[in-house]
Chain A
């Protein structure tokens, strides 16, 4: 609603003594620059409701875009230089021109937009707008090392600019200034102009440099009368081709006339909506985890609204780390997995927690704090060690290592007869034993039926005092070996198996992973 419009008072560029000189200096430079402009062409652009900054943009006058001068003064400079009689004789029209939405940039370069709460914001120049952006960023993000500014604009801006440019080409192509000075390739785009005009102020206000950064400030402009660039591209690829480059310009030059021009230029009465969003690259915190329970799954496991197991490693670690990073969410990645009823002991298993949009990068001390917190949870289901911040390369490193690395296990095995001394030797003498495993019945419903060859690097039987039929089987295998099936044989579908080697029936009662041999996250 027009009545609700709020116009925040601009920084007064005429009064303050400090900036006064600079403004005067800028004004002088600008006055000098505008003298070169073709008065009649500028006049025409103004009559088509093209804003001053867009005019400067089209004529590649940088001073005009970035000057900390209010639009009213910008106009007066242009008026003086081009002797716009109509405007000088009618002062009321001046303010009208100022507040009308530019037919090219739809208000973007006029710093007029509606914010997220639909309130109309109107700033006199870039510095004022930058201050709004900076304040909004600082509200949520306190530690920024640098930033990248991204701008997304409605395609209508490009379309209208093309229409205006092709019109100008058609009308002024024969004139000297056009041939000598006007260049379609060098026009400063709205996107670049906006970025260039607020970046210096943002750098000062945020106290950091703009660069290729993980921290992104994104200004998304959308217009009710025009779909956003993203929407259009997805729907119609050929649209993009027509718009991009000068193809459009040339085509319309050939066929267009003045009535086309008026038809094509889509004027809007309303400014864009602008949404400011910030995002950071994910923070990776990695380490190794131990799972001390046979009723905890590695990842959240819910079937038909029913949770399997009492908790998950993913949640126990993620939920504790997330608040310390003040992020939006987390993803859990691990180097392989174990069944819910298998404990992960010894070395622990490498994992990475990916914290999305973390607003706080934890210090080394607070990482230690996290580790302590998780390890002292009363439930004592999961522990972590060697916790530290990893770059995104930890991810690929973990994936690479996953397939080739060796895993060490301890299985509690029962055999259908008494253990003989020969058994110990029979088992320990087997080195790098090749085992052929048909996809276990246990997982056959969801995996492809295949014969997989796996290697058992070594095995050792550890007798248990007081029992003649139970023993601990320590074994080191290639990653991907189905251990339970290697022990009980899976209806003879894994061959050989402990049962076939010892020539009796074997059963596995418990399984623990004791070592995941990988070169990462060892300390």
Chain B
């Protein structure tokens, strides 16, 4: 009995699986289809916490602040922004506001040299529709790392995907500044309720 067990153990395949076998690898790669959600959360949803600043400085000037776990904030126009109500079409984006053109400052290096320090109410750009223009603001105090230059040539990105490719800018706030201001923003659920989405 005992000898048989020992023999059985010996004849068992070694613990090390032959990883070179394509089949073995493929088995590992294939997911169980039943475990997959019908519609998975987007990269934005899973990597960012969303905040909203409704009526920022002016009525219906709704902006979003998507905050990454690393502290960076992606700033953009929220779905309820008045610009989308004006026949729903943004026709131009102009970063030439204030003392400098926001799209012309090139931030370099790990230490983010040249990055400008902006206040929450500092203008980022001007969004134009056929009838009016609206100032988009930083919402958070911090270093402006980049603005979305694609919007200059493709302002329609704001119409098609304001919450993704149509983002306005990326700002790096200091942790302390962020903690001071974050309570003035509302959550996505609160925003939906506010704007009756």
> Bound state CA distance, A465 and B108, in angstroms?
47
State whether B15 touches A375 (Cβ < 8 A).
Answer: yes
Contact in complex: B30, A491 (CB < 8 Å) = no
What total of chain A residues lie within 8 Å of the partner, measured CB to CB? 44
In Å, the complex CA distance between A348 and B33 comes to 26
Whole-angstrom distance between the alpha carbons of A448 and B115 in the complex? Answer: 12
Which residues from B are CB-within-8-Å of A444? 70, 72, 145, 170
The chain A residue with its CB closest to the CB of B31 is A412
Residues of B within 8 A of A343 (CB): 28
Tell whether A488 is near chain B: CB-to-CB under 8 Å. yes
A464 to B30, CA, bound (A): 8
Query: In the complex the two chains form, is B42's CB within 8 Å of A445's CB?
Result: no
Which of these, B29, B110, B164, contacts A447 with CB under 8 Å? B110
Pairwise interchain contact A445-B43, C-beta atoms closer than 8 A: no
Q: Does B172 touch A at the CB level, under 8 Å?
A: yes
**Interface hits, A371-407 → B, CB 8 Å:** 371-372, 375-376, 383, 385
Interface band, chain B = 35 or more
Q: Which of A449, A464, A505: most chain B Cβ within 10 A?
A: A449
> Are the C-beta atoms of A449 and B112 separated by less than 8 Å?
yes
Q: Which residues of B contact A222 (CB under 8 A)?
A: none
A383 touches B31 (CB 8 A): no
Which residues of A lie under 8 Å from residue B72 when comparing CB positions? 441, 444-445
Pick from A68-76, A87-95, A146-154, A506-514 the stretch touching chain B: A506-514
Interface-facing stretch out of A25-33, A241-249, A466-474: A466-474
B31 touches A514 (CB 8 A): no
Task: Confirm or deny: B16 has a beta carbon within 8 angstroms of a beta carbon on chain A.
Answer: yes
Check B65 for interface membership: any CB of A closer than 8 A: no
Contacts of A491 in B (CB 8 A): 74, 148, 164-165, 167
- Please measure, in the bound complex, the distance between the C-alpha atom of A488 and the C-alpha atom of B25, giving whole angstroms: 25
Asked whether, in the complex, the Cβ of B30 is within 8 Å of the Cβ of A449, the reply is: no
Are A445 and B71 neighbours in the complex by a CB distance under 8 Å? yes
Do B19 and A348 touch (CB < 8 A)?
A: yes
User: Which residues of A are found within 8 Å of B31, using beta-carbon distances?
Assistant: 412, 464, 470, 509-510
For A449, the chain B residues whose CB sits under 8 A away are 107-108, 112, 145-146
Q: Which chain B residues numbered 102 to 134 have a C-beta less than 8 Å away from chain A?
A: 107-110, 112
Which interface residue of A375, A441, A443, A508 has the most chain B CB atoms within 10 A? A441
Does the CB pair A345–B36 fall under 8 Å?
no
B13 at the interface (CB under 8 A from A): no
Q: Is A489 an interface residue (CB 8 A)?
A: yes
The interface bits of chain B over 155-182 (1 if a CB of A lies within 8 angstroms of the residue's CB, else 0) are: 0010000001101001010000000000
Instruction: Write 7 A-B pairs (CB below 8 A) sorted by A numbering.
Output: A385-B16, A410-B29, A412-B31, A449-B107, A464-B30, A464-B31, A491-B165
Given contacts A445-B72, A491-B164, 19 further A-B contacts (CB under 8 A): A292-B28, A343-B28, A345-B25, A346-B25, A372-B16, A375-B15, A376-B16, A410-B29, A414-B39, A442-B70, A444-B70, A446-B70, A447-B110, A465-B33, A467-B33, A484-B43, A490-B43, A509-B31, A512-B28
